[in-house]
Structure 1
Amino acid sequence: MSGLLGNFVTQIGILVNDVEKVSTAYAEFFGLEKPEIIVTDTEDIAQTRHNGVATQARAKLAFFDMGSLQLELIEPDHEPSTWRDYLNEHGEGPHHIAFVVEGMKEKIMLLEGKGFPLQQKGEYTGGRYAYMDTFKELKVIVELLENDKDNGEE
C-alpha cells in the first residue's frame, strides 16, 4: 500500500508561548546545546499566505536535531497564522509533523483532492513549506517541506 507522502517523518513542530524558556528546558532535558533562536523571514521574502490571504505573520523558532528527526519549537506573533490559530485553540503542544517532498504544487493538489485543504504556505531561505489541514482525521497538521535543489544545475 502506498501512502500519500511516504512514511518518513522529518520534523515535529511544537507550539509554545515562550521559545526561550521551552528551548532551555529541552536543552537541559536532552543534554543538548541550546540552539540559536531564529525569526522567520519578513513578509517580502516569506510571502506567507494563511487561508488564501497574505499575512505578515512571523514566528521565533528553535530547532533541535534528534537523529533522523528534528524538533521545531515555534513561538508565533499575533498576526493571522496557522500557528496563532492553533495555539489559541489548542494551547501549547504538537502542531505538525513534516515530510520532505518534491513537486510541492502537485502534492498540495493531491491532498486537497483528498479533502485536506491548504491552510498556510510560505517561502524560507532555501525552500518552501505548506501546512495542510489534516487535523480532523490525523489530530495533527501535516507540513510539506520542499527544499531547493542546490546541485549547481539551474
Structure 2
Amino acid sequence: MAGLLGNNVITQIGILVHDIDKVSQAYADFFGIPKPEAMLTDAADTAQTEFMGAPSPARAKLAFIDMGSLQLELIEPDEHPSTWRNYLDEHGEGPHHIAFVIEGMKEKIMLLEGKGFPLQQKGEYTGGRYAYIDTIPQLKVLVELLEND
C-alpha cells in the first residue's frame, strides 16, 4: 500500500471551469444541495505560489463540494501563469487533478522528482500547503499533494 505517496486514498478531484458561479449552481441543482460559496485563494505574499520554479501572482476562485468520502473542487483561475490557467487554456474545462493527503511535503516532492515526476506548482494555504506533480504522461491527470499542519 505504501507506494510513492504512502497513501492511496483520493481525497479530492479538482475540476477547472470558466464560470465558477454557473458551474456551482449546476452542481447544486443536479445534486439537490446548497450552492457552494466561491472563495479567492490567498494573495501572493501569503500563498507564495511558484509555477514552473518561478514566483507567480496567480490566484483562483475555488468552490468546494463534499461528496461523501471525497471533495470536488471547482477552480476558476485568473489570467496569471499557473497550472490552472495553462491547463484550462490547453484542454478546456474538466478534470485537472486528483489529490492525496501526505506527510513530509519536501521529501515527497524530492522522491517524486527523482522518479521522473516533476513539481509543476506549489503554494501555501491557511493550515497547510499543496503541490501539483506532473504525472500526466503516466497517469493522464495531475496528482496534488496536500499537507495539513
**TM-score between both structures, scaled by the size of structure 2:** 0.97
Superposed, which structure 2 residues align to 1:3-152 within 5 Å?
3-5=3-5, 6-148=7-149
Distance (Å, rounded) in 1 between the aligned partners of 2:53 and 2:114: 17
Shift of 1:141: 0.3
Residue 151 of structure 1 corresponds to which residue in structure 2? Answer: none
Distance (Å, rounded) in 2 between the aligned partners of 1:53 and 1:7: 30
RMSD, aligned α-carbons: 0.7
Distance (Å, rounded) in 2 between the aligned partners of 1:109 and 1:90: 28
Runs of 4+ in 1 over 6 A off after TM superposition: none
How big is each residue's C-alpha offset from its partner over 1:19-78, in whole Å with a ceiling of 9 and x where there is no partner? 000000011111111111100000000000000000000000000001110000000001
Shift of 1:2: 3.6
Distance (Å, rounded) in 1 between the aligned partners of 2:148 and 2:74: 20
Distance (Å, rounded) in 1 between the aligned partners of 2:34 and 2:112: 37
Structure 1 unaligned spans of 5+: 149-154
Residue 152 of structure 1 corresponds to which residue in structure 2? Answer: none
Identical-pair percentage: 76
**SS of residue paired to 1:56:** coil
**TM-score between both structures, scaled by the size of structure 1:** 0.94
**SS of residue paired to 1:63:** strand
